[in-house]
Structure 1
Amino acid sequence: MSTAPYSGHTALGATVDAPTLTDTSRSTPGGAPPTLASASKSEAPSTGSSASSPPPRSGEFPTTSTASRTTTLPRVEGDQGALRLISDVRERYQPLKVLGAGGMGEVVLVHDNDIARKVAVKRLLSDDHSPSTLARFVDEIRTVGRLEHPSIVPIHDVGVDADGRYYFVMKFVEGETLESIITRLAAGDPAYLRKYTVERRAEIFMALLQALAYAHAHGVVHRDVKPANVMVGRYGEVMLMDWGIAKPIAAVRDLAATAEVTLGEAGTSERGRMYATRVGALVGTPAYMSPEQARGDNDRIDARSDLYSAAVLFHEFLTLRHYLEGKQTVDQMITSIIAEEITYLKLIAFPPAGAERAPAELVHFISGALVRDPAQRYQTATEMVDALQAIIEGRMNVQCHITLQKRLLREAARFVDRHSFIAMLCLFGVLAAVIFSGIQLMRMVAA
């Protein structure tokens, strides 16, 4: 089992035993159940928050006296056919484990003792109480909170923990990131190769496009579309995660762009820097940036920038190779994104042994989204959805000899579906002509 918001910190296949609503036996050594505030002290990773936080400062955080969150619903018991409602006041969000941490916050898996379910809680790190950080966090909550779409993780609640740190509660997504799936596919995992056919990959990308179409229609750009931020759930659901640097398209202020330059979980390696989310003059992840992102033109970033990043993701998902895999540094990668045109021939790549080659029509589709000039790309996610749907249905544009053959075969198949009797007569006619020609040829040779 993998978990979503910071997928790089969650071990795939891990399981969590959550207590039930009426289970009050699991507690800390002192006898009281652990609180949300205590999670980072007892379970936080080494890169997480400190053991304690400074007292909240006036005007920035509420006092801890306002932070108590307890259960509301009573415990229901049966007694000889009669139901009894018993008051059962406990800490509502009981921490289970820390899922991961980023530059601004951490995510904790908790058990909601009121509704008896697992949810994820994202909260600010204890050592950062700056107004700009809090403003970015509030923007994230309000941006994601108004996006109600099946492929966007919903926010359930907001609050302040006992240490005076703001947090929000969101759906806990069980599944696997595209980053992990691509890694398994590239390694030639037979089960993954059977499961994630080219057709299935196109379906997943279609769901991602539909989530982006919804967000863009509501005036929000994600700015960090990459495999690590896309989850595929246990039952095939596709979720676009981590909206921490998203912003309204028409926003006057851009807190991520004006923030002090920071990287996500990049470590110290150059490769880590290439695939880590960053804020500052450059906002996003270098390996998946659009040219306008790579130039730092943050005022020009709109829906088309997200579509560029999505196309980079789809190309990697299909070919199992990043189109900039030969670049060794962030500077080389940024320079290439800004200066080099991406052509169909550059995008065509042979996959690792055992994997399917990317269909030509899909590579042409991707190349249409990877144009340096935003005005020459697909203009909306809906336009990309329509183009991809046409390809799936066999109505692809003829752009090379391969797409010509596929289009002709598809049209022939449609003709058979619509006019099966005529198609059968035509087939018999062709067979008769071939047989007659063969007989005539044999006679000529014999003569």
Structure 2
Amino acid sequence: MPWLSDNLLKHLQSVVEAPDLGATKYRLLEKFAAGGMGTIYLAEDTQLQRRVALKVVHTPETAHALSVRMLREARVIAQLEHPGIVPVHDVGELPDGRVFYVMKLVQGQRLDEYVRHELELPERLRIFQKACEAVAFAHSHGVLHRDLKPENIMVGVFGEVLVMDWGLAKVLSEDAKIVDCESWIVDRAASTQLSTTNNQQPATGNQHQTQHGTVLGTPAYMSPEQKRGEIEQLDQRTDVYALGAILAFLLNPSAAGLAQAQLENNKASASTSLALAKLRAPKQLLAVCTKAMAEDKAQRYESAQALAADVERFLNGLTVSSYQENPFEILWRWIRKFQFMILLVLVYLLVRILLFFWFRP
């Protein structure tokens, strides 16, 4: 048997995995990215003559379960028409049975890459607010993301912010026009994510419910109830916790030890407080992070909107709800907010004093 090089094997594998788009209006251009569930290809819509992103399950052998999950992901995104959520253009099935869906091609950088540039704190906070707006919109439609992290937020070339990868989304509202197929969710096989702690699928009962004890998400940004697999306890405050962790990351991107500190300590509240205390950031924003990442979800912000509102208050020089200022801090914040007017008054008084002594007889 002739020996095959690694490069040749990789090429043969890519050929086998490449989707056959002959029966569609799309023309395959190149492989764009790969994840635990499927591969994203750069493709061309031959009718509209535009480039799009086409996502398809890796191989036909795993098509059944993952195709159901991918179809569900497409349906979730299709119900969330928001500038901060990538729109789905089309969905279909390949001759080998694999489901694919087509979405807008996003050109930009992931948030964890984008913040490597020298960004001022207000710019980072504005990006965070836009992400909160998209998440709040999803919550208003009864959808939890459950896998919020910097890697799943894209910043476009024109400053647009988009929340990506809704593959682990959970539908809460009963009237949502989405089929909840969570029993089909499988291990994403990503090094930064937890695999399921109970791999046996139920033989009886409702097949559209995730089993208790199933852990889905990225550990560093998962709330305590999500880590414990308490599916019935998940609500919008679960995503608020992840947003708080993202905010902590944005406050000091070079000190990415917050997530790791949480992973190495089973006591979420203790490790979170310890890690936040080490961040160099305004006390008000650290208090916002602490509240968003409270171990008890009842102590967190009620919504992503409330979290974003506190960040907006900080940007506007106002007090935030999560931090009790002392009199000196109130005075200093007031001086910083009106520093220009205070400077004008001081200059005016100085000129009056100089004129008084100059024309003094």
Q: TM-score range by the shorter chain?
A: 0.7 to 0.9
Deviations 1:149-170 (A, max 9, x none): 0010000011122333211000
Summarize the alignment of residues 68-83 of structure 1 with structure 2, pairs less than 5 Å apart: 68-69=23-24
Instruction: Specify the alignment match of 1:347 in structure 2.
Output: 276
Deviations 1:239-285 (A, max 9, x none): 1000011021246996447744x23432xxxxxxxx23655611100
Cα distance in 2 for partners of 1:43, 1:176 equals 31
Q: Secondary structure at the match of 1:225?
A: coil
Is 2:150 the counterpart of 1:221? no
Instruction: Specify the alignment match of 2:128 in structure 1.
Output: 205
Q: Secondary structure at the match of 2:91?
A: strand
What amino acid sits opposite 1:51 in the alignment? V
Unaligned runs of 5+ in 1: 1-41, 54-63, 70-91, 186-191, 267-274, 351-356, 437-447
The 1:166–1:49 alpha-carbon spacing in structure 2 relative to 1, beyond 3 Å, is: farther
Summarize the alignment of residues 30-41 of structure 1 with structure 2, pairs less than 5 Å apart: none
Cα distance in 2 for partners of 1:153, 1:43 equals 35
The 1:278–1:198 alpha-carbon spacing in structure 2 relative to 1, beyond 3 Å, is: farther
Q: Secondary structure at the match of 2:54?
A: strand
Summarize the alignment of residues 115-134 of structure 1 with structure 2, pairs less than 5 Å apart: 115-129=48-62, 131-134=64-67
Cα distance in 2 for partners of 1:324, 1:256 equals 30
Instruction: Specify the alignment match of 1:51 in structure 2.
Output: 16
8 Å Cα contact 1:67/1:161 also seen in 2: no
Is 2:247 the counterpart of 1:314? yes
Instruction: Specify the alignment match of 1:138 in structure 2.
Output: 71
Is 2:303 the counterpart of 1:380? yes
Summarize the alignment of residues 356-395 of structure 1 with structure 2, pairs less than 5 Å apart: 357-395=280-318
Deviations 1:17-41 (A, max 9, x none): xxxxxxxxxxxxxxxxxxxxxxxxx
Unaligned runs of 5+ in 2: 1-6, 198-213
Instruction: Specify the alignment match of 1:81 in structure 2.
Output: none
Instruction: Specify the alignment match of 1:407 in structure 2.
Output: 333
8 Å Cα contact 2:63/2:97 also seen in 1: no
Aligned sequence identity (%): 32
8 Å Cα contact 2:69/2:184 also seen in 1: no
What amino acid sits opposite 1:134 in the alignment? S
Q: Secondary structure at the match of 2:272?
A: coil
8 Å Cα contact 1:45/1:100 also seen in 2: no
**Number of residue pairs aligned between Structure 1 and Structure 2:** 326
8 Å Cα contact 2:84/2:163 also seen in 1: yes
Cα distance in 2 for partners of 1:132, 1:384 equals 36
8 Å Cα contact 2:65/2:184 also seen in 1: no
Summarize the alignment of residues 255-270 of structure 1 with structure 2, pairs less than 5 Å apart: 255-256=181-182, 259-260=185-186, 262-266=187-191
Q: Please say which structure displays the higher CA radius of gyration.
A: 1
Instruction: Specify the alignment match of 2:220 in structure 1.
Output: 287
Cα distance in 2 for partners of 1:148, 1:171 equals 12
> Which TM-score applies when normalising by structure 1?
0.64
8 Å Cα contact 1:208/1:240 also seen in 2: yes
What amino acid sits opposite 2:278 in the alignment? A
Cα distance in 1 for partners of 2:92, 2:44 equals 16
CA RMSD after TM alignment = 3.6
The 1:379–1:233 alpha-carbon spacing in structure 2 relative to 1, beyond 3 Å, is: same
